[in-house]
Structure 1
């Protein structure tokens, strides 16, 4: 019998991506979909690319019996998830795609998100959802906190290097480019086509981006001492994709070997041959992350590049990967589709 799935926030980009992926899943059945302003509409009215699917009508959250689910994907805005998840029955497993449960320390959460956490009891039990590094914990978890898409990309490039001790921890620069869908679907003037196309700009410059909280938390825990990275994100005029160019100091062979050892046998993380580098066009619409290592002309400096699709491996694909573990399904189920090219 299929696991009964509810998607809250189905009218956003990550909600639609969840539907796209779960439509291919032989062990999951979507029994309810929520939306706020679009409640009462058919999913095909909101996302015509899903017209071929037979899906429940979008409803307000209050009109859905949340107890009638084995697992809930919560694709709601930050701070909204806390109140909704807090009311769920204990038997319902949850994968939260917002930032509400990513940060372990309530004070750190309050600093970065501007308000106290409203469900600190749940914050204590949430498991960080970077699947390849928290697999055992995720498989036993009731609540999994999906990572930030930028945070995931940087961590795929850096976690094995920090663990192996092959780079200078005080000399890490993450220069990251992300597609516009990472900003969500709500109307924003700066995301209009005329405002965004034919241009390219940095944002949250100088350590203002909230995903820095995840880098600080995860890298410091790995190193056993504080690790502070320099991180500058850029918005590129593309719908999907993230490319992180990470500058580190160390020996190229040792860095490559550490990544090779960490990702041997991983179905979704692919290390490219030494000297080659990834592109967002080669991971579009997939759950794959491609990593490349290039030795810089300056001795002792190395460039590590990571590319993934922010809506799939960076968010909804990661969420399904985690749900597979939580429900006892094969981790790769419904996620081995090849990238879309061109």
Structure 2
């Protein structure tokens, strides 16, 4: 079931035009990983080991146990590829860990937050999808989350959504999303600063068009209104820009990120990776090198299976929506879910 167009938030139209094809990025990743084997038997063996070793993972199912929403119904009959409904939490992390992330992020901040959060829902049959963006500045109730070192976090009320990742990592991010939505996250995918920048560079950059001048001292991005071809570092700066455009809110940044994702997907579509093994490997290396997944997707086999199951999905089959929000009464610089519209969006996915 997909969300109808009349259920979109204020930015729903822009999201539909610009972010709707995100599941195709997963499809392209699967295609790229599968095509690595064109490099030759010996080289492919090394490439498989290297790319498989790139992927970092977190055992979210073990950490959260059974205190979760029920999973989607399994496929009614056996199939060569999975076809059942699926929900994937996709996060963009602003972690500064590692030299490359610290440099791209402007220094080591000593922590990490989830700057971008999207729930990708794949319908039964994998022929339609819905993408719901959750603003990072949304005030939520953060549930108690287990910690890797033992113990758990305390319940927090009226706290920013992205604090879940800061205090409890992917496990707490997933639990907070499930608490907010009532929808079980079957998988988790996270990409960091350097992984995103390397992916853009591996694809030869991206071309974007901006409607207004951008001058953001924080992201160090200056662009005049018009069309620009960006490399990976510039594209990352665009994704992080918020103070140099619009009202400076997170909602404005979501609009920029949506423009960038559309440009990235257009670049994926226009690049025939299978005709260039070197480019193909570079893209696959960028995709896997910047990823953290749950243990169900922490192998080339898992990612390839997911990507191949989406091979028939096109942008026309994808509906996008931002979770409906309104300014928070307690802080006009924050937002809260706009009810009952927000609950209706999540109910439609369930």
Structure 1 length-normalised TM: 0.26
Which structure carries more helix by proportion?
2
TM-score, with length taken from structure 2? 0.25
